Structure 1
Amino acid sequence: MTHTDPVPDSVAPRPLARRLLAEFLGSALLVTVVVGSGIAAAQLSPDDTGIQLLENSTATVLGLAILILMLGPVSGAHFNPVVTIADWFLSRGDPQGFSAGHIAPYLVAQTAGAVGGSLLANAMFDVGTTFSDHQRASSGHLLGEVVATAGLVLLIFSLVRTDRTVVVAPAVGAYIGAAYWFTSSTSFANPAVSIGRMFSDTFAGIAPSSVPAFVVAQVVGAAIGVGLALALYPSGAAMPHTHQGESHV
């Protein structure tokens, strides 16, 4: 390629506005999937919470993988504040790494999208929007969030640092689906999603009073995940960052 050749769209830097739109849209649709499938599950299987969780987790697995594939080439498909911050931290020594100046805009887009997704799901199922009264902040739930978030961050960046981003979408979907079942908290693992889900008093909701503790647990889990990624893969492959058009969640 000469200097006069156009840069292919697959590797061209993405304007920040386009990336923020992708993060907003992805976060919104992710929460719409989680909350909407939770409402549908409660309506379809009102007497069996196990079946409700199976229906909810299956929709989330498929929806998350599709959203990563669809929007990853634009923004990296973070959809998660702790993933954004971890990306910056792990790539901060790389001139091509995630810019610290883009952290705040990403977090705002993700959180606004998550709230919008909850409102959209409520409207589609005509359940109204009220704060959830589903208390979740027990010690077991918080430990579950630490475990879920640590595993998610470790998975993402172990794949990134070993140049296996092609499998991120199915791997992350599969991990979240499994974590619905093996963690006591059903694996929120995402501060933006936690905030969004407090706006729906349904199967997938979380009480506002539980959200701060969940966010703290998620931040702790993310720090553990980053530490493990560095310990296991100290000199990872070249990071495929968002402005290069690659997806790493």
Structure 2
Amino acid sequence: MSTAVPPARRVVAEAVGTAALVAVVVGSGIQATELSRDVGVQLLANSLSTVFGLGVLIVLLGPVSGAHFNPVVSLAAWWTGRRDGDGLSLRQLAAYVPAQIAGAITGAVLADAMFARPLVAWSTHERFAPHLWISEVVATGTLILLIFGLARTGHARLAPAAVACWIGAAYWFTSSTSFANPAVTIGRAFTDTFAGIAPTSVPAFITAQLLGAAAGLGLVVLLFDPLLPSPAREVVDAAVPAASFAEQGSSRP
């Protein structure tokens, strides 16, 4: 992320990128359920769409804002760079997070609009179980480890492909399908579709994501801190995460 980019443009990039990411997640989930009744096929379509969409968004908007699209990534970037001033400033963090949340909600509403669904319909998909919270700790922690590990080893340029691929894998090896993103989690509460999460399940997911982010940062220090003092501003994400990100279908918690 270039320091020459105006702050307002960075914030807009975060809002637009997060909105586009959630539109991809929710829209592909709706499309998948309309095209197939098989939950495995639905999840495959949803995950592939998210992988491709996330990778493209990171490549496009990374040079503008860092392509965080995720409050825990922004928080980690601020935390790791707070002493040397090489990451996000506290003011930038305070601007990024609301923009990401607003973008996520907008993306969910946009996806519903594209498929002629109610623009806002609170999700009824309850995801309130300890195994899902453990999955969110793991998904978020490994995402932070990947992003900041790449930066610490001088491989931040690989982030678009690496982060997108990891999110795609986490769709399948975590029972929560790797939301790993507080903003996306909030946005997905606004759609009662394949990708939704009930509002009552959101606080526990976000708590697990914050715990995962702290664990991921601890692993970065343990594994990579002595290697390279790589600038936090090189870090890019999502996700879905990010991404986040996929929904696991009605037959799963």
TM normalised by structure 1 equals 0.92
Give the distance between the partners of 1:169 and 1:81, measured in 2 at CA. 18
Partners of 1:30 and 1:117 within 8 A in 2: yes
Q: TM-score, normalised by structure 2?
A: 0.90
- Aligned equivalent of 2:10: 19
Correspondence list, 1:63-74, <5 A: 63-74=53-64
Note if 1:196 corresponds to 2:161. Answer: no
Alignment partner, residue 153 of structure 2: 162
| Offset of residue 145 of structure 1 | 0.5
Instruction: Return 5+ residue gaps in structure 2 as ranges.
Output: 238-253
Gaps of 5+ in 1: 1-9
Q: Which amino acid aligns with 1:67?
A: L
Counterpart AA for 1:115: I
Partner SS, residue 186 of structure 1: coil
Q: Work out which of the two has the higher radius of gyration on C-alpha atoms and give 1 or 2.
A: 1
Shift of 1:171: 0.3
2:83 to 93, 103, 106: 93
**Structure 1 equivalent of residue 209 of structure 2:** 218
Q: How many aligned residue pairs are there?
A: 236
- 1:48 corresponds to which of 38, 41, 44: 38
Q: Distance in 2 between matches of 1:156 and 1:226?
A: 10
Please identify runs of 4+ aligned residues in structure 1 that moved more than 2 A: 235-242, 246-249
The within-5 A match list for 1:105-144 is 105-128=95-118, 129-144=120-135
Q: Judging changes above 3 Å, is the alpha-carbon distance between structure 1 residues 152 and 36 closer, same or farther for their aligned structure 2 residues?
A: same
> Is the 1:131–1:201 Cα contact (8 Å) retained in structure 2?
yes
In structure 1, the residue matched to 2:246 is none
The CA distance in 2 between the partners of 1:108 and 1:41, in whole Å, is 30
Change in Cα spacing, 1:213 to 1:33, as seen in structure 2 (3 Å) is same
Q: CA deviation at 1:139?
A: 0.8
- 1:173 maps to 164
C-alpha change, 1:61 and 1:230, in structure 2 (3 Å) is: same
CA shift at 1:102, angstroms? 1.2
8 Å Cα contact 2:81-2:231 kept in structure 1:
no
Instruction: State yes or no: 1:146 paired with 2:137.
Output: yes
Q: CA deviation at 1:101?
A: 1.6
Amino acid at match of 2:126: Q
Write the distance in 2 (CA, Å) between the matches of 1:81 and 1:132.
22
